[in-house]
Amino acid sequence: MRHLIDIMDLNVEEIQELIDVANDIIANPDDYAEKCRRKKLATLFFEPSTRTRLSFEAAMYELGGNVLGFSEAQSSSAAKGESVADTIKTVGAYADIIAMRHPKEGAPMVASMRSDVPVINAGDGGHNHPTQTLTDLLTINRVLGHFDNITIGFCGDLKFGRTVHSLMNAMSRYENVKYVLISPDELKIPEYLRYNLLEGHNIEYVETQDLESVMPELDILYMTRVQRERFFNEQDYIRLKDSYILTPEKLENAKKDMAVLHPLPRVNEISTAVDSDPRARYFEQVKNGKFIRMALILKLLEVE
């Protein structure tokens, strides 16, 4: 039985297979409409979500399956003090596969160790978010057609942004990928990633606080929200939240075929005036999220 806890649980060939299946689903949706008949997905969300939970649910419905679950910890027995391990054992009695989001780093991994069915990490605290990364990779693949030889800028909250951490890990396995890390000092990537990933794998990277000066180099600009819920102190959040606001003027120096991605939700970091720019790909990214999750559910349920 396979789980998806960390994006590195999948090798690059498996990622390519998922992308190929997702592209086939986009082209031939009817072929997949009955693939998960009578199967059930449980979505256990101990933290807020719009896209991740609804795209998982939509994915399972489009495969002909059914969905159960909860969207806040308060409405589950976690509120009575039940452990994650006991919750997962229980849900495994009713569902064939589980997508779980939790504020504690590592909770989905602990759950997977006790689970009788595949567990998917749908975001664990400020740590990882592998299915957002699959969404990002499908989008990059559809926009650029390749992963090698690109310069990718990560902008905003690189400290707490779990989507950034997972995407950085995933991109480290392709050839000649250069990282440009754009953030205020306080929101730089965690030290464990700097040492294990960037320096451990000799990745070419630069760090800067200035988005505009690096804009012309970027093939992908990955914008992120400052993760308010991970701050210890509201004053720090208020001081840092508007560090970067992408506007049409700031895009003037960007490559004509650059892609702006964002896992969403956005707060202020991309002006809505950017939405009509052909380089804005974040709503396309939202759509891709459902298709790649369909491919992932098929893989983990071992459906042909």
Neighbours of 84 (CB within 10 A): 21
CB contact set of 17 (below 8 Å; sequence gap of 6+): 299
Catalytic residue among 3, 35, 43, 52: 52
| Least distance in angstroms from the C-beta of 143 to ligand NCD | 18
Q: How far is the CB of 286 from ligand NCD (least distance, A)?
A: 8
Confirm whether 3 is a catalytic residue: no
Q: Which is nearer to ligand NCD, 65 or 125 (CB)?
A: 125
CA dist 299 and 288 (Å) reads: 17
Per CB under 6 A, the list member of 35, 142, 162, 281 interacting with ligand NCD is 162
Q: How many residues of this chain interact with ligand NCD, rule: CB under 6 A?
A: 11
80 a catalytic residue = yes
State the nearest-atom distance from the C-beta of 104 to ligand NCD, in Å: 14
**Cα separation, 143 vs 256, whole angstroms:** 13
Closest CA to 42 of 15, 77, 71, 67: 67
166 touches ligand NCD (CB under 6 A): no
Q: Is 264 in the site for ligand NCD (CB under 6 A)?
A: yes
For ligand NCD, the binding residue among 5, 6, 40, 52 (CB under 6 A) is 52
CA–CA distance, 51 with 198 (Å, rounded to integer): 29
> What is the enclosing helix (H) or strand (E) of 278?
none
Question: Who contacts 190 (Cβ-Cβ below 8 Å, separation ≥6)?
Answer: 159, 165
Binding status of residue 43 toward ligand NCD by CB under 6 A: no
Q: What is the DSSP letter of 190?
A: P
Contact residue for ligand NCD among 263, 270, 292, 298 (CB under 6 A): 263
How many Å apart are CA 144 and CA 127, to the nearest integer?
A: 27
Task: Kindly name the residue from 3, 40, 53, 101 that is annotated as catalytic.
Answer: 101
Q: Which of 40, 142, 225, 293 contacts ligand NCD by CB under 6 A?
A: 225
Query: Number of C-alpha atoms within 13 angstroms, CB side, residue 79?
Result: 10
Instruction: Tell me if residue 51 is catalytic.
Output: yes
Binding site for ligand NCD (CB under 6 A): 51-52, 123, 129, 132, 162-163, 225, 263-265
Give catalytic residues, as residue numbers: 51-52, 80, 101, 129
